[in-house]
Amino acid sequence: MIHGFGTGGWVWEGYSKIFEQQGFTCMALDLPFHGTLDEPPPPQLGNLSVTDYVSYVKNEIRNLAEKPIVMAHSAGTVVAQLLMAEGLVHAAVLLTPIPPAGISALNKNALKTVGSVLGTWGFWRKPVRVTFDEIVFAALHLSTNQEQHRVYDRFGYDSGRFFLEMALALVNPRSPLRINSSSVTCPVLVTAGDEDRTTPPSVARKIARKYGADYKEFKGHAHWPLGEPGWEIIAQQCAHWMIALKND
């Protein structure tokens, strides 16, 4: 299980309980220098590339007896998509995914979600952290006030370089986020929320079409399917999809 930008394996606590009740063994990873609230953050975090994150997860996969089902949220889905393309996973579940190179996620809300990062000179080589207001606008606007503060109290820094790689994926011909869809042969599930400001359903549907994926769109949900009211329904739907794979 791969977390998104600025978070850690803790985001999967609820999903893990539901999946384990269904007989799955869960491993919620902390990507390098994640899952802590170190102040100041380690400076080397700022220069980590998506390829560094992929290498870290690949090393974890090598320790497993069989190919896993990878589940990822938001920016973590970029890592998952690259693992899919390398044939390293049995299947993938992409929750509110960030698109690979070739699919635009630009929309009118973009600057409101990352303005503080873009306004920091040299952010592409520094650890970066969004503000409370930005994360609420981008992901937590349907969550309770208690959940908003619970999440932000544990929200840490992430790589400015990784942020730039995602931001420039559409225009960079050498983007590390460029994926040949023909190399993805595993089953894929893409989920979306109809009120998501970061990955609108129109973008999620394009990602699903790219991989020939199954697609589920949830009404009354946004970019935080891990803790919004009704998140349990999404987790259960994902569990049912994975169980169906096992039974095929």
What pLDDT sits at residue 122? 84
Q: Among the CATH numbers 2.40.110.10, 3.40.50.450, 3.40.50.1820, 1.10.101.10, which is that of 9-247? A: 3.40.50.1820
Q: Which strands sit side by side in the sheet containing 69-73, from one edge to the other?
A: 69-73, 91-95, 188-193, 214-218
User: 92: which residues sit within 8 A by CB, 6+ positions away?
Assistant: 69, 70, 71, 72, 80, 81, 83, 84, 186, 187, 188, 189
Candidates 206, 205, 247, 199; CA nearest to 224 is: 199
Question: Do the Cβ atoms of 126 and 120 come closer than 8 Å?
Answer: yes
User: 63: which residues sit within 8 A by CB, 6+ positions away?
Assistant: none
Candidates 169, 187, 186; CA nearest to 178 is: 169
Model pTM? 0.95
**Digitized pLDDT (tens) for each residue of the chain, 248 residues in all:** 999 999 999 999 999 999 999 999 999 999 999 988 888 999 999 999 999 999 999 999 999 999 999 999 999 999 999 999 999 999 999 999 999 999 988 777 766 777 677 767 788 999 999 999 999 999 999 999 999 999 999 999 999 999 999 988 888 889 999 999 999 999 999 999 999 999 999 999 999 999 999 999 999 999 999 999 999 999 999 999 999 998 77
What pLDDT sits at residue 166? 92
What φ, ψ does residue 188 adopt, rounded to 5°?
Answer: -135, 140
Question: Do the Cβ atoms of 142 and 25 come closer than 8 Å?
Answer: no
What pLDDT sits at residue 150? 97
DSSP string, the chain: -B--TT--GGGGHHHHHHHHHTT-----PPPTT-S---SSPPGGGGG--HHHHHHHHHHHHHTSSSPPEEEEETTHHHHHHHHHHTT--SEEEEESPPP-TTS----TTHHHHHHHHHTSTTGGGSEE---HHHHIIIIITTS-HHHHHHHHHT---EEHHHHHHHHTTTT-TT-TT---GGG--S-EEEEEETT-SSS-HHHHHHHHHHHT-EEEEETT--S-TTTSTTHHHHHHHHHHHHHHHHH-
What pLDDT sits at residue 116? 74
* Distance, CA of 66 to chain centre: 23
What pLDDT sits at residue 211? 98
What pLDDT sits at residue 230? 98
End-to-end Cα distance, the chain: 22
What pLDDT sits at residue 111? 66
